[in-house]
Amino acid sequence: MGKKEEVVKREKYDLIVDSEQQFYDDVRLILKRAREQAYDSANGIMTFAYWNVGRRIVQQEQYGEKKAKYGSYLIKNLSKQLSDEFGTGFSVANLKNCRQFYLAFSEDSYGFSMAGKIPWSHLRSIMRISDEEERNFYLKETLTENWSVRVLERNIKSGYYKRMLSTQLPDKENRALEFVKDPFVLEFMGVAPNISQLESDLETAIINNLQKFLLEMGKGFSFVGRQMRICTETTDFYIDLVFYNYILKCFVVIDLKTKKLTHQDIGQMDMYVRMFDDLKRREDDNPTIGIIFCTDKDETIVKYSVLHESQQIFASKYMTVLPTVEELQKEFERNQLIYDSKK
């Protein structure tokens, strides 16, 4: 190698070293400024500091010639320098979270404006969701419903967002669709899958885990009663579970079935809803909603029953274990077939 080539190589090396030192100094400055601000807004300040750290990491990676190899080396060295100066909290894993945070939320997005109100522990789970609308849903629900990290992670894993019915009716303006899911996931009841059980046992398991069941049901639900008696002139009827939703301003009656949905089940629920509206509904209540919990559904029965056009009656499969991504996808595809049949 000639003398000229050595000079060029040295200059290039010095340029990279100077750039990396500037990079480390920039990240230090971001963190120092954040820590100097008021403690009462520390969460939001540190959240946006993490976003800025992520931005600088991505910017510096783009400077490197081999991004993957350079990025790994970069974060390891940054972690070492920051840990020496700022202590814990800047592991390689957390710096990768900062990077992911920046990539997931653009500065002018709805999610970015919400992120400062959400704890970092929650954001680490939400930022891994690829779909922007789904991320925004979990941000909003975490904030408004004050979800714990455990509840948030459970809802993400169980596909809470995707299970809210968007295929039960073509009418997208029907607000009830925001409060009915398919399937419902009831893994918290401790009931083993594929084991025959009595409807009364399922009902008891729900009552014993009522708080978790209400979280699975969604916003605005309060428990009214079990085995509620409805009396007519000739016969007494008993509804498994009755709730009231203060957002929809209506009663929600649930009929539990430990078998596949039948047309008799649909007819029975149709009668329950009509009776409840006639005998229990108050003048300021909206029409009663009925949900049939079943272990499976048949597209033909759904298509050729009152479920086809009713905005008050729904049928939802329930699952007693957390489904896999593949299982959820199959359920979504089946629901799409039902939706297509209603067009």
Tell me the pLDDT of the chain (343 aa) as tens digits: 566 566 556 666 566 667 788 888 889 888 887 776 654 466 778 888 999 999 999 988 887 655 556 667 889 999 999 988 887 788 999 999 999 999 999 888 888 988 888 889 999 999 999 999 999 999 999 999 989 999 999 999 998 988 875 444 445 556 666 678 888 999 988 776 655 678 888 899 999 999 999 999 988 999 999 999 988 888 899 999 999 999 999 999 999 999 999 999 999 999 999 999 999 999 999 999 999 999 988 877 877 787 777 788 988 889 888 888 888 888 877 776 666 655 5
CA-to-CA dists, residue 111 to 56, 74, 130, 168, angstroms: 20, 27, 13, 28
Helix (H) or strand (E) holding 185: strand 184-185
Residue-range domain boundaries for the chain: 3-104, 119-157, 160-341
Which runs of consecutive H residues, i.e. helices, occur in 64-180?
67-86, 92-104, 110-115, 120-126, 132-145, 149-157, 160-163
Q: Using only the alpha carbons of the chain, give its radius of gyration.
A: 27
Torsion of CA 191, 192, 194, 198, to 10 degrees: -30
pLDDT of residue 182: 83
DSSP label at residue 260: B
Residue 317, beta-bridge partner list: 294
DSSP H helical ranges for 209-262: 210-217
pLDDT of residue 39: 47
- CATH architecture assignment, domain 160-341: 3-Layer(aba) Sandwich (3.40)
Round to whole Å and give the CA distance between 119 and 157.
19
pTM over 0.85: no
